[in-house]
């Protein structure tokens, strides 16, 4: 079994992959002050929770966008499994041609998601990852990673609004009843939810016009399930895109 770990700003996704199938998937909170021993315990507990023997783990792959946490998780995984993890980063084979000013600065999560999407969808592609930040990645017809956009995440925007405006409360990301709110909560929910959906529709339209070709739009991330159904543009939600991408990259680089 391949133990695949993706370290994000809010959550760490840990999955087990056997014969290209995701056997289990778990999420733990990203904690910048946890030690490698603590992360090791978390990984071991998750394996135990899903009744996966440690000795059934044959290899480990990690991607990370949180440098302060990366070493602790990598060392914790090594302490549990005795295996040195493969790391998604410069020098790793992905099959993507990254056409950015500084390719090394591109987040590994964006690359992993693009690699996974190319296995199931035909380019040109637009990938929307809705987490702490909302990122949009564009892959053209030649499998070239040509750029994208980074936008404050939906929860980040909602929290900023509540913390900066004394009379505005925190709200749940429930589907708005209507676009024209009738009270403070409804107005906030409409602005945040429909506003995010309209932003995605508008960004996709603008990027597609720049590309000059129709694109397939794929969305992932914890917030996508709340926002994508409110969009006018057709988008496909892929829940396990990062784990699938880690599996593809592992197979491309396995010695």
Which residues lie below 8 Å from residue 172, measured CB to CB, with a gap of 6+? none
d(CA 190, CA 158): 11
Examine the residue annotation and report whether 201 is marked as an active-site residue of this protein. no
pLDDT tens digits for 98-124? 888 888 888 888 899 999 999 989 989
Neighbours of 81 (CB within 10 A): 21
pLDDT of residue 103: 81
Q: Is the pTM of this model over 0.75?
A: yes
Confidence band (pLDDT; 50, 70, 90) for 246?
Answer: very high
Nearest to 214 by CA among 222, 223, 205: 205
pLDDT tens digits for 11-59? 999 999 999 999 999 999 999 999 999 999 999 999 999 999 999 999 9
> Where in the chain are all domains bearing CATH 3.30.420.40?
2-87, 97-245
Superfamily name with CATH number, domain 2-87: ATPase, nucleotide binding domain (3.30.420.40)
pLDDT tens digits for 66-86? 999 999 999 999 999 999 999
Q: Would you say domain 97-245 falls under CATH 3.10.20.30?
A: no
Quote the tokens at residue 75.
């060392």
Exactly one of 109, 140, 174, 240 is catalytic; name it: 109
Q: Under a CB-based contact definition with an 8 Å cutoff, are residues 48 and 72 in contact?
A: no
Mean pLDDT of 3-7: 95
pLDDT of residue 2: 96
């Amino acid at each position: 079994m391949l133990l695949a770990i993706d370290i994000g700003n809010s959550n760490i996704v840990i999955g087990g992959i056997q014969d290209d199938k995701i056997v289990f998937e778990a999420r733990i909170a990203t904690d910048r002050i946890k030690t490698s021993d603590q992360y090791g315990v978390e990984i071991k507990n998750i394996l135990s929770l899903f009744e996966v023997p440690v000795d059934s783990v044959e290899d480990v792959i990690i991607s990370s966008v949180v440098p302060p946490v990366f070493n602790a998780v990598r060392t914790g995984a090594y302490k549990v499994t005795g295996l040195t993890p493969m790391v998604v980063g410069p020098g790793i084979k992905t099959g993507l041609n990254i056409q950015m000013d500084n390719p090394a600065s591109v987040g590994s999560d964006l690359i992993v998601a693009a690699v996974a999407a190319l296995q199931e969808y035909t380019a040109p592609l637009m990938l929307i990852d809705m987490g702490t930040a909302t990122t949009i990645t564009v892959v053209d017809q030649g499998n070239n990673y040509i750029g994208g956009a980074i936008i404050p995440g939906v929860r980040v925007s909602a929290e900023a609004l509540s913390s900066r405006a004394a009379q505005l409360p925190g709200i749940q990301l429930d589907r708005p009843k209507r676009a024209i709110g009738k009270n403070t909560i409804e107005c906030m929910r409409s602005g945040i939810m429909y506003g995010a959906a309209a932003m995605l529709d508008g960004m996709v339209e603008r990027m597609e016009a720049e590309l000059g070709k129709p694109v397939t739009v794929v969305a992932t991330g914890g917030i996508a399930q709340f926002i994508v159904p409110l969009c006018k543009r057709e988008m496909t939600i892929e829940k396990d895109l990062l784990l699938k991408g880690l599996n593809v990259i592992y197979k491309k680089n396995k010695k």
